[in-house]
Amino acid sequence: MLGARVKTDGPSLSLQSRIDAAAAYLLANQNTKAIVSGGQGTDEPVSEAEAMKQGLLTAGIDETRIIMESRSRNTYENITFTKKLIPAHSEPVLLVTNDFHLYRAVKMAEKQGLNVKGLPAPTPLITIPKSYVREYLALTKYLLTGKI
């Protein structure tokens, strides 16, 4: 699961949506483990990985099923650092992020050699305009330059 902003009062709406989607999948698939990936920005009280872990624990996911990656600062690093934590023969990998971000995240993971499928979390209505504009610009940059 890819991180998103953590506010002082908890996960952003987008991050909470990702937590909810991952928790539903994990509750239905008891043999699946989750890697929560996201570092701590200067304005975040905890790392994104820690916020996701706490959200999954609250949803009833056993702590032994959660692996943390808390160094990454962007989608590229989320995938790079997470790839190192994926046990051999665990593919395909299910990547959880918001629907607006899924295409670019899956393409980046495939470019890094992962056999990946996407699990889209809904984008909260209030964040749709900003999220899609930002993602359009990020995707354009990625497609033109191959960089994040």
Domain definitions of the chain by residue range: 6-145
Q: What is the rounded CA–CA span in Å between residue 41 and residue 86?
A: 24
Tell me which of 12-21, 23-32, 130-139 is least confident: 130-139
Q: What pTM value is reported for the model? A: 0.89
Indicate if the pLDDT at residue 146 is higher than 90: no
Helices (H), the chain: 13-28, 48-58, 75-83, 99-111, 128-145
- The pLDDT of residue 132: 82
Which CATH architecture is the domain 6-145 placed in?
Answer: 3-Layer(aba) Sandwich (3.40)
- The pLDDT of residue 110: 94
- The pLDDT of residue 135: 84
- The pLDDT of residue 147: 66
* 82 exposure class (CB count in 10 Å sphere: 0-12, 13-18, 19+): buried
Q: What is the mean pLDDT of the chain?
A: 94
Report the percent of the chain where pLDDT is more than 70: 99
Q: Record the tokens describing residue 7, joined without a space.
A: 């506010």
